[in-house]
Amino acid sequence: MAFLPLFVCSGESVVLPSSLEPVPVLLDIGEENDLGSHRGGSAVSPWPRHTRYGDDGIMEHDVDGDVAINLSTSQRPSAATTPNGSVEPEDGEFQAASLEKVLKEQQQQQQLELERVWDQDREVKGNGSTSPSSEKRVQQEHSPPPASDAQKTHNASVPASQTQTASASQMMASPVSGLHHMQQLLQQHVLSPSQLQSLMKQHSLLQQHHQQKQLVELGKKQIEQTMQQLQEQLQLNLIQQTQILQSGDKKKASSSSLQQLALQQQQLIQQLQIVQRQYVVHQGMGMQPMMLVQGAGLTSRDVMSPWKDPPNGNDQQLHATNSKCSLPDVNGIISGIPSSRSSRDDICFEDKLDNERTATDKVQHLYGHGVCKWPGCEVICEDLQAFMKHLNTEHTLDDRSTAQARVQMQVVSQLELQLQKERDRLQAMMHHLHMSKQLGSPEPLKESPSPTKMTVNSAVSQPAVSMGVLVSAVRSPVLQATAPNVPGPIRRRISDKSALSLAGEIQRNREFYKNADVRPPFTYASLIRQSIIESPDKQLTLNEIYNWFQNTFCYFRRNAATWKNAVRHNLSLHKCFMRVENVKGAVWTVDEVEFYKRRPQRCSSGPLAQPVVGGGASKSPTLNHSPTIYGDHIIQASMLEDNMQFLTGSTNLCNRDSRLRDSSQSPSHDHIGGSIHRSSVNGGLLIKQEHALTAEQQHGMRDVEHQVHHIIKREVHVDYEDIDQDAQVDGMAEDLTITSPQDHHHHHHQHHQHNDSNIIDDA
């Protein structure tokens, strides 16, 4: 979810349309894709290799990439809170940098050694790395460990098949008196000073080990990621092949594409092998500190546990599988050990725990609410135990499960690809916005975002986006997608009068709106108008308007019936939209005069109000409600930005850029241009400016300013029915005095909107 993190960071003032909530970002998977369900499924891939990667399900891995790394590098060490404080020395106590250096050197040596050993192993094994000829083969080679049944039975034992493991094990002296012993001593409180001293030494070594482990962890993670990606590409490739094979006998073209796929496959496999090798090396690095520990004379079953994780992803998976299958272990984890547990003595034990916890977590992804969540299964299992049994009997490594897993994998792959794309896009967008903000706003933002605005969510799930970017994003609609906790649709819309800013806003965020399933903060009327004035002929058919909505806004690719109805409704309702019969049907045009005439009283408080807060309100609904210290500045900046655009993009007066420009562009009003007309056009807008002549106006309102001095606010009842285009052109003076409110006698007030506050410029 590239956008998700961003979305989550908004303030409470943001409202998401209810329809949006489940799918903040629309992936092009389907109209009504249910990301949630995909997620649920993807979190646990039945595919063996996924088991090995611990808690980072594929999706999560990608989604929280940064977070994941952080966790891996910091969580464990920081989690070293001692349950029984007396036992454990302070964390930083023995962190000698020099020692670390030495250790690193040793580590490197041993890494080389490991590599060598591993190479030898490969030679011995003789199953080299020739490219697989069949699909199955590929799976076996690159996906984890075809945990064969035979291997499965070796619960928690060192996988015999892994010679490299054996080799590695041999490198290590047989462990003696380790953590276990240490713990016993400690528990008995019978430590002599010398014992204590040696204990401390051991501790320091352990710490060193752990630190190094962290260092290695990061690289490892990256490699794991790469491996995952490659494997998934491979899977994708295979799937494509299968598809072609299945449906391909018809076309010859498929044979060529097959060849291509095969080629790709080979390349992927090669890459994968390389990466896997790297991974092994890293595993060795991660393991190496343990050797030190052992060399120090520690011994313990727990210490041994890491060695159950062979320096190979396959075997790790096996281990995880074993853990998963070992019910007592699972239960123990669930019920027993607190996650915060981690004393130095337990480092290794904790590793084991991690793996087991991982297994448990994964199992939990397949089991929920008493139902097996295996794709297409939904068998009811009373308890975890029953589920485990079911899992181990029904979902074994057979063809069906494999196929299901493959499907799931495809789902995950596609989501992941999409995610990556979207994330990149987002990054680029944010970067761009940030840049343009800096360049575009004459007044750099000096305030820092108020912490209250940036919710916890933002901090948590926000990808690597700088605060500055976030700030700049505040005024962008991006943040609207946040605040998932806020129910109901967005009520705040940038009102019509801000259409000027609308043009710029849409332009600036075009890519964003196009791809993010975020409701644009503009009214339907504004959007319709925008669509029309963007068209070459300043006229569109209804269908073209639809298309514009869909092409411009991801949001409008859903719930078509709803918004289309709304569009039609708006077209009919607002007098500013005029239906023009055409040879080939009817087209809609915008009567700019009417457009600006509508509901002035409201708008005056909106976008055109004080450029400060009020204007900001229009700019960003999220700020409307509770302008913050930075909100004002941002708004100001953005308003200025708009004015800049106006200045450069329009020769018309008016305070708002596109407003008059658009007016001049209006097909039906090209000939208007009278000052009276214009002033009346601006009427509603200018009212508030009487007391809000700010820097904004100083920028581009010279023409307007002198008018403002003479403006007279008048309440006029205008019957739009009586004003046709020509009448309007004839003179606004008339239309200002024209009729009275309609004969609508509904209980409702909606027709008061026709009370126009117009400005007469008698200058």
User: Residue numbers of the site for DNA (CB under 7 A)?
Assistant: 15, 17, 488-489, 491-493, 495-496, 522-525, 541-543, 546, 559, 562-563, 565-566, 568-573, 579, 585-586, 588, 598-603, 605, 614, 617, 624-625, 744, 746-750, 752-753, 755
Angle at the Cα of 161 (from 158 to 164), degrees rounded to 5? Answer: 80
DSSP conformation class of 71: I
Residues 6+ apart with CB under 8 A from 218: 69, 72, 73
Between 11 and 65, CB nearer to DNA:
11
Residues 6+ apart with CB under 8 A from 348: 179, 290, 293, 300, 302, 303, 304, 305, 306
The Cβ of residue 71 has, within 10 Å, a number of other Cβ atoms equal to 17
The Cβ-side half-sphere exposure at 348, using a 13 Å CA radius, reads: 27
Q: What is the CA radius of gyration of the chain?
A: 33
DSSP states of 705-723: HHHHTT--EEEEE--GGG-
Least distance between DNA and beta carbon 145 (Å)? 50
Between 160 and 580, CB nearer to DNA:
580
Least distance between DNA and beta carbon 310 (Å)? 56
Least distance between DNA and beta carbon 546 (Å)? 7
DSSP states of 133-167: SSHHHHHHHHSS----HHHHHSTTS--TT-HHHHH
Least distance between DNA and beta carbon 747 (Å)? 7
Between 395 and 558, CB nearer to DNA:
558
C-alpha dist (Å) from residue 469 to 14, 427, 437, 473: 18, 10, 9, 6
Q: Which two tokens stand for residue 532?
A: 């029309």
Q: Which two tokens stand for residue 13?
A: 């003032």
Least distance between DNA and beta carbon 551 (Å)? 16
Between 7 and 546, CB nearer to DNA:
546
Between 683 and 700, CB nearer to DNA:
683
C-alpha dist (Å) from residue 97 to 106, 128, 204, 619: 14, 41, 12, 53
Between 142 and 754, CB nearer to DNA:
754
Between 125 and 579, CB nearer to DNA:
579
Between 171 and 542, CB nearer to DNA:
542
- Coil, helix or strand at residue 157: coil
Q: Which two tokens stand for residue 628?
A: 């913050």
Between 314 and 539, CB nearer to DNA:
539
Angle at the Cα of 404 (from 385 to 328), degrees rounded to 5? Answer: 20
Give the torsion sign (CA, 650, 653, 658, 660). negative
Least distance between DNA and beta carbon 53 (Å)? 41
Least distance between DNA and beta carbon 603 (Å)? 7
Least distance between DNA and beta carbon 611 (Å)? 14
DSSP states of 306-325: GGGS-SSHHHHHHHHHHHHH
**3-state SS of the chain: helix, strand, coil percent to 5?**
65, 5, 30
CA distance 744 to 751: 7
Between 498 and 666, CB nearer to DNA:
498
Between 529 and 677, CB nearer to DNA:
529
Between 136 and 569, CB nearer to DNA:
569
CA distance 180 to 177: 7
Least distance between DNA and beta carbon 559 (Å)? 7
Between 373 and 558, CB nearer to DNA:
558
CA distance 663 to 682: 11
CA distance 1 to 654: 42
CA distance 122 to 639: 66
Longest dimension (CA), the chain: 106
Least distance between DNA and beta carbon 594 (Å)? 12
- Phi/psi of residue 715, nearest 5 degrees: -90, 120
CA distance 731 to 591: 15
The Cβ of residue 718 has, within 10 Å, a number of other Cβ atoms equal to 24
The β-bridge partners of 577 are: 590
Angle at the Cα of 98 (from 95 to 99), degrees rounded to 5? Answer: 65
Environment class of residue 258 by beta-carbon count within 10 Å: exposed (0-12), middle (13-18) or buried (19+)?
Answer: middle
Least distance between DNA and beta carbon 538 (Å)? 16
CA distance 568 to 572: 6
Between 596 and 630, CB nearer to DNA:
596
Between 469 and 525, CB nearer to DNA:
525
Between 367 and 720, CB nearer to DNA:
720
Least distance between DNA and beta carbon 743 (Å)? 9
Report whether 104 contacts 216 (CB < 8 A).
no
Report whether 410 contacts 604 (CB < 8 A).
no
The candidate with the shortest Cα–Cα distance to 725, out of 584, 572, 579, 537, is 579
Between 39 and 475, CB nearer to DNA:
475
Q: Which two tokens stand for residue 100?
A: 């670390």
Between 279 and 720, CB nearer to DNA:
720
CA distance 309 to 307: 5
C-alpha dist (Å) from residue 724 to 48, 68, 539, 721: 71, 63, 17, 7
CA distance 644 to 190: 79
Report whether 531 contacts 542 (CB < 8 A).
no
